[in-house]
Amino acid sequence: MPRENAYLQVADALRARIEAGEWPIGAKLPSRARFAEEYAVGQSVAQRAMERLIIEGFLEGRAGSGTYVRRPRRRLRLVRSRRRAARAGRQFAAEVAGQGQAASCESRSQARVPAPEDIAARLAIEPGDLCVLTDYEYLADGRPVQLSRSWEPMALTHGTPVELPEMGRQQGVGVVERMRSIGIDVASAVEVPRPARATQAQANLLGISIGDLITEIERTYYDGAGRPVETADIVLADIRTEIAYEFGVE
């Protein structure tokens, strides 16, 4: 296996065995020397893989005794649906509170940022057209669980009270309500989820390791005429969150 990812692959293999019940909760695991021999890696690689599973909550180390299987920590469930999208940040806070944790959000906006080519294509504007760029960091009990980078065409919001998303009376209400306040009705959203591995920058912001599993979601909001009004790249740490999609049934 590639040396740079060896510990992640060993961690994935051990996690699968734990989840399959090979070692029940409370059981003591074999030594790192045995795992190193079994997976043909160095003991430091085996140790790092076990430390990864301790961080994830699958294992616990007991001084002078060894490493034991513990009950995995419950991941934070974030539900995505059309109904919930209208309430955005408020919905995040409600979901986190409902799971016994305290929610908070940090954001930073920049106006007059030229749209890169890929973002321009998603917003149906020309590359270089000016946008408002906003970076969000959503936290649960002080730990970052979700990142979002949002782009809005300034042609839609320039000179309005909602030009900067997290300023003024519409602070924290989300894209749908903000756009509605200036006469733009958001009619639909398209989301494209993709599994990925954390980059250095993403790992630093989420407090995880480089190469950890993440979910990336490309989301775009459209008005009733099919015009894109906002697009965002959302990133969630797999070890802390799970995504559930809710659909209305007619």
Question: Tens digit of pLDDT for each residue in 206-220?
Answer: 988 888 889 999 999
Residue 77: pLDDT band (50, 70, 90) is confident
Question: Tens digit of pLDDT for each residue in 184-211?
Answer: 999 999 999 999 989 999 999 998 888 8
Side-chain-facing half-sphere of 169: CA atoms under 13 Å: 4
Residue 86: pLDDT band (50, 70, 90) is low
Stretch 215-226: mean pLDDT: 95
Q: In sequence order, what DSSP letters do the residues of 1-49 get, joined into one string?
A: --GGGHHHHHHHHHHHHHHTTSS-TTPBPPPHHHHHHHTT--HHHHHHH
Q: Would the pTM of this model clear 0.75, i.e. be above it?
A: no
